[in-house]
A and B are shown apart, each in its own frame.
Chain A
Amino acid sequence: MALSLPRMLPVSTTDGELIERAAGGDRSAFELLYQRYARPVFGLALRRLGDRGRAEDAVQETFASIWRSAGTYRPDRGPGAPWLYAVARNAIVDRARNRTEIPADIPDEPAREAGPAELAEQGWVSWRVHRALEELNEREREVISLAYWSGLSQSEVAEFLDIPLGTVKTRTRAALARLAEILGDEFE
């Protein structure tokens, strides 16, 4: 589902600036934040809650929290993305705590799933990557999506897009370079 929201603010406006504007009641800033972060928040919620309906509710609650608590953001303590991540994580954890299901049996063996620290790391990586994907143009996003997650070979992608194989490689490389630029040195 594509988001189509009015862009009344320059796309270069930082997340931190948008949070500060939202704190002052600027709805267009809030909508731009939503445009940038709805998918990362939903991805994080799905990963944690494992249920689309509950994850959708968590997204709504997260953005309600962002609007409510934007005034607590302090730009001198860091950029906007980690603050938004913290708000989202808290909203999602609150929702997870509301679960009423009780496991029928206590497992005898230690869980094989990733531990909390590992999950947090995975969540943060997905958060940043999915946020960065929102910055790509449609053509770049399309080639990344097909190359990484469609299961198609590059020849099949080329055939599907009706472009030469070399163009697929060039576009993929350009899209990766753009992502590297967007992600900056956060992961180095």
Chain B
Amino acid sequence: MSFDDLIGTDGLSAEEEAKLRRVHQLLVAAGPPPELSSDLSLPPVPNDEADPPEVAYLFRRRRGRALVIALAAALAAFVGGYAFGHSKGKPVAFTPVRTVTMHGTSTGASHGVINIAQKDSVGNWPMKVEVSGLPQQTNRTAYYELWLTRDGKAVAPCGSFRVNAKTTRVQLSVSYPLKTYDGWVVTAQTGQRDGLGPVVLTT
């Protein structure tokens, strides 16, 4: 999007406009900052000794433990979803605290945005998901599924949806500890019990 479309020049002095244009160019040149995985949520633990500190090697290598945690997270999601579905609390205003963007894996036309609100009192993360440019389902049973990933693998399902317009918006809620995952993907599912479908959007 051009500077004029994004910002406009109304009310800006020539000096201010030049400064903002420069920042605009830098943002475009820099590109989006990468999402940090859970492995990078904390710094390595420095050693108290004078010698070089030990590097805290990464959790992602402990795949067995990751599997156990993924299974626990799936169970937590089920319980959380049940609790959410049966809660009688009043709805609260949706205020995003984090935004995640996704891009298409095959064409540049598709993309998605996940706006995540503050965790509610029972431990669910409400989310507003918007996807654009995804093709409509090929049959009546097909759908798209949003997943959390670890090490690039879809491990925790977050909800399914169908699209019937250029842009589709849905509200979902998950109870996973989001910090323990490193990304999001959307897969295209046929609904024929054929396992994980192809990834169509990814962070």
**Which A residues are closer than 8 A to B by beta carbons?**
1-5, 25, 27, 30-31, 34, 38-40, 42-43, 46, 52-53, 56-57, 59-61, 63-64, 67-68, 122, 125-126, 128-130, 133, 138, 142, 144-154, 156, 160-161, 169, 172-173, 176-177, 179-180, 183, 187-188
Judging by beta carbons under 8 Å apart, are A130 and B41 in contact? no
- Which residues of chain A come closer than 8 Å to B99, judged between CB atoms? 142, 145-146, 150
Judging by beta carbons under 8 Å apart, are A148 and B28 in contact? yes
Judging by beta carbons under 8 Å apart, are A56 and B98 in contact? no
- Which residues of chain B come closer than 8 Å to A60, judged between CB atoms? 40, 44, 55-58
- A52 and B152 in contact, given A60-B56, A133-B33, A148-B27 (Cβ under 8 angstroms): yes
**Considering only CB atoms, which chain A residue lies closest to B133 in the complex?**
A151
- Which residues of chain A come closer than 8 Å to B60, judged between CB atoms? 53, 56
- Which residues of chain A come closer than 8 Å to B130, judged between CB atoms? 152, 156, 160
CA distance A43 to B33 in the complex (A): 6
Judging by beta carbons under 8 Å apart, are A67 and B32 in contact? no
Kindly specify which of B1-9, B84-92, B155-163 makes contact with the partner chain: B1-9
- Which residues of chain A come closer than 8 Å to B37, judged between CB atoms? 1, 52, 56
- Which residues of chain B come closer than 8 Å to A147, judged between CB atoms? 1, 6
Kindly specify which of B16-24, B65-73, B74-82, B134-142 makes contact with the partner chain: B16-24
Judging by beta carbons under 8 Å apart, are B6 and A39 in contact? no
In angstroms, how far is the closest chain B Cβ from the Cβ of A69? 9
Q: Which of B36, B97, B111 contacts A151 (CB 8 A)?
A: B111
- A64 and B55 in contact, given A126-B31, A151-B103, A180-B20 (Cβ under 8 angstroms): yes
Q: Which of B16, B98, B101 contacts A149 (CB 8 A)?
A: B101
**Considering only CB atoms, which chain A residue lies closest to B31 in the complex?**
A126
Interface residues on B, range: 35 or more
A-B pairs with beta carbons under 8 Å apart, 7 shown:
A53-B58, A56-B58, A122-B29, A142-B99, A147-B1, A150-B101, A176-B27
CA distance A2 to B179 in the complex (A): 8
- Which residues of chain A come closer than 8 Å to B179, judged between CB atoms? 1-2
Q: Which of A42, A46, A125, A180 contacts B29 (CB 8 A)?
A: A125
- Which residues of chain A come closer than 8 Å to B19, judged between CB atoms? 177, 180
Q: Which of B23, B29, B60 has the most CB of A within 10 A?
A: B23
- Any A CB within 8 A of the CB of B105: no
- Which residues of chain B come closer than 8 Å to A5, judged between CB atoms? 42
Judging by beta carbons under 8 Å apart, are A144 and B7 in contact? no
Judging by beta carbons under 8 Å apart, are A188 and B113 in contact? no
- Any A CB within 8 A of the CB of B120: no
- Which residues of chain A come closer than 8 Å to B167, judged between CB atoms? 156
CA distance A46 to B32 in the complex (A): 12
Judging by beta carbons under 8 Å apart, are A183 and B27 in contact? no
Judging by beta carbons under 8 Å apart, are B20 and A177 in contact? yes
- Which residues of chain A come closer than 8 Å to B101, judged between CB atoms? 145-146, 149-151
**Considering only CB atoms, which chain B residue lies closest to A156 in the complex?**
B167
Q: A25-B48, A38-B40 are in contact. List 17 more A-B contacts (CB 8 A).
A: A1-B37, A3-B41, A40-B33, A42-B36, A43-B34, A60-B57, A67-B46, A125-B29, A125-B30, A129-B29, A138-B97, A146-B101, A149-B31, A150-B111, A151-B101, A176-B7, A187-B22
- Which residues of chain A come closer than 8 Å to B16, judged between CB atoms? 177
In angstroms, how far is the closest chain A Cβ from the Cβ of B9? 10
- Any A CB within 8 A of the CB of B64: no
**Considering only CB atoms, which chain A residue lies closest to B113 in the complex?**
A150
- A3 and B113 in contact, given A145-B101, A169-B8 (Cβ under 8 angstroms): no
Judging by beta carbons under 8 Å apart, are A176 and B24 in contact? yes
CA distance A183 to B36 in the complex (A): 23
CA distance A3 to B38 in the complex (A): 9
